[in-house]
Amino acid sequence: MKKEELKEFCKLIGIDCVGIAPIGPYYDLEKIIKQRLLNGYITGMEEPMIEKRVNPKEIMENVKSIIVCAFPYYIGNFDESNLSKYCYGEDYHIVVKDMLQEICNYLVDNIENFEYKIFADNGPLVDRYLAYLSGIGYFGINNNIITDEYGSYVFIGYILSNYEFKSDIPSEKTCIKCGKCVKYCPGNALLGNYEMNPKRCLSYITQKKGDLEKEEKKVLESNKKVFGCDICQDVCPHNKNIPITEIKRFKEDTIIKLDIEEINDISNKEFKRRYGNRAFSWRGKNIIKRNIDIVSKKPNE
């Protein structure tokens, strides 16, 4: 099978950002990761073994190509929202995995002895780097992957496969380097050179366990988000006039805002029952409640 046939099928099921990444090892990425470790630019959420992040054969011994897909999720701007846009619809881990499984089912039917492994933001490889290698997007200064049609409001999923599809070529484009993401980042996490200190990122702060430091609370208070952050994407010129996603599960049964009284009134068990299929639920009720309490504080409280 040629990759053109694969991409044609992907379009039929609503995935039009598809590329093929080579299987590495990615020695350029290894240097970047090691430098980030030296600088302390890690959160503890990353895969600890560098070899697993840069060598796909550590994940699947007989891998021959990597199918990389981008899934747009933008449904519009809502001023009253206290959640990041990626949390509005059904949990992307579930949706992306289901859509990647459709691709794999098709390939199993059409390629003899086809083997695969699916990852939707739950694998050790660096999905944004794979997206860059596969040609479906290029890096912004804010570290996000930017696609031509959907800007940076995309989730990335990938399939390790034992079938050798021909690799695509990375895009030569770069972001326009206007610096708006650096200027408006609430935690000053973006360093302006395609690097960031993730510990200062508001999105990370909203997901951090335990008590927050005084400066972290200030960042939360001033931006009123209880989970995630979109500021570096909202101000990005590459995200102007992008279309609403066609993926129904991201735009149906949406939750735009969490209510403080509801969160305070329900048990942990009820929180999981109501929100178990939402991306913001993975840290549990207590982290959300902590954040809501902080952003709901009146001045001088």
Percent of the chain whose predicted confidence (pLDDT) is above 90: 94
Mean pLDDT of the chain: 96
- For the cut 90, the answer to whether the pLDDT of residue 228 exceeds it is yes
Distance between CA 297 and CA 301 in Å, rounded?
6
Could you tell me if 54 and 25 are in contact, meaning their C-beta atoms sit under 8 angstroms apart? yes
Q: Could you report the per-residue pLDDT of 146-188, keeping only the tens digit for each?
A: 999 999 999 999 999 999 999 999 999 999 999 999 999 999 9
Of these residues, 16, 121, 234, 293, which one is catalytic? 121
Q: How far is CA 271 from CA 24, 47, 90, 205, 224, in A?
A: 42, 28, 15, 21, 21
For residue 86, the model assigns a pLDDT of 97
Question: CA end-to-end span of the chain, whole Å?
Answer: 64
For residue 233, the model assigns a pLDDT of 98
3-state helix, strand, coil in the chain (%, to 5): 40, 10, 45
Tokens for 207?
Answer: 């997901």
Distance between CA 52 and CA 50 in Å, rounded?
5
- For the cut 90, the answer to whether the pLDDT of residue 44 exceeds it is no
**Does 121 qualify as catalytic in the annotation?**
yes
- For the cut 70, the answer to whether the pLDDT of residue 300 exceeds it is no
Instruction: Please report which confidence band the pLDDT of residue 298 belongs to, taking 50, 70 and 90 as the band edges.
Output: low
Tell me the average pLDDT across 257-273.
94
Q: Could you report the per-residue pLDDT of 10-37, keeping only the tens digit for each?
A: 999 999 999 999 999 999 999 999 999 9
Indicate the pTM of the whole model. 0.95
Cis amide leading into 25 (omega within 30): yes
